[in-house]
């Protein structure tokens, strides 16, 4: 298991959140398990209401958690969005923000738990939905979260923020490397 703390983009600082941590657990069969834990004043955060677990675009416009996965040295990558509502999205890109036709083979397993001052979202991405890795190179991850405050403002959290405005697609933010077995 690998534990990582996300940082808030300097241009979107919020007083509602204190920390966003992610636990990454590659599974023996190759699936990728991610646990996002927010700690903060949850009364100041808009948390989407439960919905049917379906694929839905635009989740990033509200509180959601994101994972970007790429094979080291290759320009393509996959993006996964997980909402506390249970909804999700999965996209493929052949290069920086160049969408490719693709549909995830499995709905990510999502579990959401909210308690006093803590919000936990667990998601599992199936091995078959990670980028193809024929050469068995390391998998590079960019982990992120969009947190919508009760006033509608959004803060952007990531492992690393390259210069400028928040941009989770920037490969310089894919700084976590995992060896797949």
Question: Tell me, what's the pLDDT at 116?
Answer: 87
User: Which pLDDT band, with edges at 50, 70 and 90, does 13 fall under?
Assistant: confident
- With H, G, I as helix, E, B as strand and everything else as coil, classify residue 173: helix
pLDDT band with cut points at 50, 70 and 90 for residue 15: confident
Per-residue pLDDT band for 52 (boundaries 50, 70, 90) equals very high
- Report the alpha-carbon distance of residue 45 to residue 153 in Å, rounded: 10
Check residue 31 and give its pLDDT: 96
The pLDDT value given to residue 1 = 85
As a whole number, mean pLDDT of residues 94-117 equals 95
Tokens 């077995």, located at residue: 181
Question: Nearest to residue 34, comparing CAs of 68, 77, 78?
Answer: 68
Assign domain 2-178 to a CATH class: mainly beta
Domain residue spans in the chain?
A: 2-178
CA distance linking residue 19 with residue 8, whole number of Å: 9
- What are the pLDDT digits (tens) for 25-38? 999 999 999 999 99
């Amino acid at each position: 298991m690998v534990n990582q703390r996300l940082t808030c983009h300097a241009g979107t600082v919020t007083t509602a959140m204190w920390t966003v941590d992610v636990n990454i657990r590659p599974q023996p069969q190759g699936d990728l398990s991610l646990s996002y834990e927010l700690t903060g004043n949850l009364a100041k955060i808009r948390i989407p209401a439960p919905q049917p677990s379906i694929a839905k675009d635009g989740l990033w416009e509200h509180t959601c958690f994101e994972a970007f996965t790429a094979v080291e040295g290759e320009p393509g990558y996959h993006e996964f969005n997980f909402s506390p509502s249970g909804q999700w999205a999965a996209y493929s890109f052949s290069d920086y923000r160049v969408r490719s036709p693709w549909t995830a083979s499995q709905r990510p397993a999502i579990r959401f738990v909210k308690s006093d001052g803590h919000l936990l979202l667990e998601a599992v991405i199936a091995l078959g939905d990670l980028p193809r890795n024929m050469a068995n190179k390391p998998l590079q991850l960019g982990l992120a979260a969009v947190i919508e405050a009760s006033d509608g403002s959004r803060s952007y959290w990531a492992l690393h923020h390259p210069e400028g405005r928040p941009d989770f697609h920037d490969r310089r933010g894919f700084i976590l490397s995992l060896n797949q077995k």
